[in-house]
Amino acid sequence: MMSDFDITIFRGDTPTLEFTFLDGETSQPLNLSGWTLYFAVKHSDGTLLINKLMTVTDPTNGTAQVALTASETNAVGIHIAEIESRKDADILTLVQGLLRIRNDVRP
């Protein structure tokens, strides 16, 4: 079920990132009812930059989102990010990829 992603945003921006999760075998949306999802980002030196609860916006269609703050997007660089799901005693990493935070032109 794990897949990769590569997202680029700009320093200090406040994006809301939306994800739709599909079953790897059937390509149908995962039913996220009763699931708790977490979005985590680590700097290449291992420092945890973001670790927050996601909002499941459409559980039957497998959609969830996370809103990032300006302070969370302040660390310019290429970071490792993942989304982990928890339901009852089950813990599963759904996706892992890169979050690229670039400098913007305006200071």
Backbone angles phi, psi at 6, to 5 degrees: -140, 110
| Entry pTM | 0.90
Condensed to tens digits (0 to 9), the pLDDT of residues 51-97 reads 999 999 999 999 999 999 999 999 999 999 999 999 889 999 999 99
List of E strands, 1-107: 3-10, 16-20, 36-42, 48-53, 55-58, 63-67, 77-87, 90-102
**pLDDT higher than 90, residue 2:** no
CATH code for 3-102?
2.60.40.3350
pLDDT-based confidence at residue 3 (cuts at 50, 70, 90)? low
Condensed to tens digits (0 to 9), the pLDDT of residues 5-54 reads 999 999 999 999 999 999 889 999 999 999 999 999 999 889 999 999 99
